[in-house]
Structure 1
Amino acid sequence: MAKLKVTYFNLPAFGEPIRLLLAYSGVEFEDVLIDPNNWLNLKPKTPFGQLPLYEENGKIINQSVAIMRYLGKKYKLIGADDWEDLEIDAMAETFRDFIIKIAMYHYEPNDSAKDKLKEPLYKETIPFYLERFEKSAKENGGYLAAKKLTWVDFFFASMIDYISLMGKLNIMENNPNLKVVYDNVMNLPAIKKWYEKYPLSLEFSKVWLESTRKPGKE
């Protein structure tokens, strides 16, 4: 049996979809939770100064979306052909763009610059993306791509709490099809079992997100 390890902060952000993909697949792995206050000490010891890290039989790699894509392929959460895989990849990269835009606002250290970002983010950027994510979820029957459960749905569902905390918004309000995507992942027996056994602290996340604005932790 392969020895697997996921290293990330103790909050539901970029490490969470990796955890959920492994939990869904029924494989055992070591879940290494890092105190954000110790990150600067750990950072120089990582391959590229980034988390999450995925380790398999002693081999370590970074980049969350690449790890998700690898696990999706490994555990058959991909498309039926190359084009569907391309659709899944495109949706994942677009969703990552969306997260980064919200994170740039949240972590902006200059109050004046942050004020300038606020109106276009909430009046233009967020509605633009959510309208299109909702449309895709509707067209794909409650999934983001390929009309079936794939790894990008885990990415979306597991990041909602993090995005909502950063942006102080309700992603699924007035987006019923995105709510279906979320439910299709979170209601899976393996995922419900995972959260019963290993609940992450949203209150901890709130405190941490409010106390730091420094980007670059993903």
Structure 2
Amino acid sequence: MTTYKLTYFNFTGLGEPIRYLLSYGGIKFEDHRVSSEEWPKIKSKMPMGQMPILEIDGKQYNQSKAIVRFLAKKFDLHGSDDYEALEIDAAADNVGDLGDVVSKYYWEEDPEQKKRMKEIEMEKRPLLLEKLEAQVKKNGGYFVNGKLSWADIWFAARCDYLSNILGFDVTKGYPELEKLVGKIRAIPNIKAYLEKRPKTHI
């Protein structure tokens, strides 16, 4: 029997889309959550010194999107042909742009730089959300061709993190995106995961 172990920090972030997808696929996995105190001790053991890491039968795999795409193909969420897969990948990268804008502002420590980055974040975030909202509305409630793909799950999982660091629901005022997140979180296997996952501050 194949074994799966996800190693990531004890918050949502880039690990959460993997947790969502493993749960969606009904795969039992060890959800190893690393504390900030533990991280320096194990960093050198990680490929490229980063997390998340997915171990499959003891072999380590890194890079969150590579892992997510692997799982998406496994669960038929990566498109019916190369062109649909391209659209799905592009949609996920668009969501990634949103995450980068918000996350870089949040983690910046220099006060002056943080102030400048907040201005950029406040300008770019609504524009990106409007574009994503229009895409979902155009495509029947999903990002691509009116059906569930890994881009939809990626967005819903990333919304946990983005909403937490912003201090408000990032989809507020964007009804199509809000409905999409609701649909993903209502998928039985994902809903079951959400009900039992640890409570974290981000």
- Note whether the superposition's TM-score is higher than 0.5: yes
Specify the alignment match of 1:167 in structure 2. Answer: 166
Query: Hey, what's the Cα distance between the residues in 1 that align with 2:97 and 2:36?
Result: 23
Query: Hey, what's the Cα distance between the residues in 2 that align with 1:25 and 1:2?
Result: 14
Amino acid at match of 2:155: F
SS in 1 for 2:87: helix
**Alignment of 1:13 onto 2:22:** no
Amino acid at match of 1:201: K
- Measured against aligned partners, the alpha-carbon deviations of 1:116-175 in whole angstroms (never above 9, x if no partner) come to 1212220x2101100101011111212122321111111111111211122334311110
Per-residue deviation at 1:36?
Answer: 2.3
**Which runs of structure 2 are paired with 1:150-165 in the superposition (5 Å)?**
150-165=149-164
Specify the alignment match of 2:132 in structure 1. Answer: 133
SS in 1 for 2:141: coil
Amino acid at match of 1:152: A
Query: Hey, what's the Cα distance between the residues in 1 that align with 2:47 and 2:66?
Result: 15
Where structure 1 has 5 or more consecutive residues not aligned to the other structure, the ranges are: 206-218
Q: Calculate percent identity across the aligned residue pairs.
A: 39
- Measured against aligned partners, the alpha-carbon deviations of 1:92-120 in whole angstroms (never above 9, x if no partner) come to 11211221121111111110111112122
**Which runs of structure 2 are paired with 1:199-214 in the superposition (5 Å)?**
199-202=197-200, 204-205=201-202
SS in 2 for 1:85: helix
**RMSD of the alignment, in Å?**
1.3
Amino acid at match of 1:180: K
Per-residue deviation at 1:18?
Answer: 0.6
Query: Hey, what's the Cα distance between the residues in 1 that align with 2:120 and 2:96?
Result: 18
Query: Hey, what's the Cα distance between the residues in 2 that align with 1:42 and 1:157?
Result: 29
Q: 1:37 to 1:142 in 2, by over 3 A?
A: farther
Specify the alignment match of 2:34 in structure 1. Answer: 34
Amino acid at match of 2:65: V
Specify the alignment match of 1:4 in structure 2. Answer: 4
Specify the alignment match of 1:215 in structure 2. Answer: none
Task: Provide TM-score, normalisation by structure 2.
Answer: 0.94
Where structure 2 has 5 or more consecutive residues not aligned to the other structure, the ranges are: none
Query: Hey, what's the Cα distance between the residues in 2 that align with 1:117 and 1:68?
Result: 29
Task: Provide TM-score, normalisation by structure 1.
Answer: 0.88
Specify the alignment match of 1:114 in structure 2. Answer: 114
Specify the alignment match of 2:55 in structure 1. Answer: 55
Specify the alignment match of 1:188 in structure 2. Answer: 187
Query: Hey, what's the Cα distance between the residues in 2 that align with 1:40 and 1:98?
Result: 29
Per-residue deviation at 1:74?
Answer: 0.8
Specify the alignment match of 2:73 in structure 1. Answer: 73
Q: 1:35 to 1:99 in 2, by over 3 A?
A: same
Which stretch of structure 1 is more off in the superposition, 159-168 or 105-114?
159-168
Query: Hey, what's the Cα distance between the residues in 1 that align with 2:197 and 2:71?
Result: 22
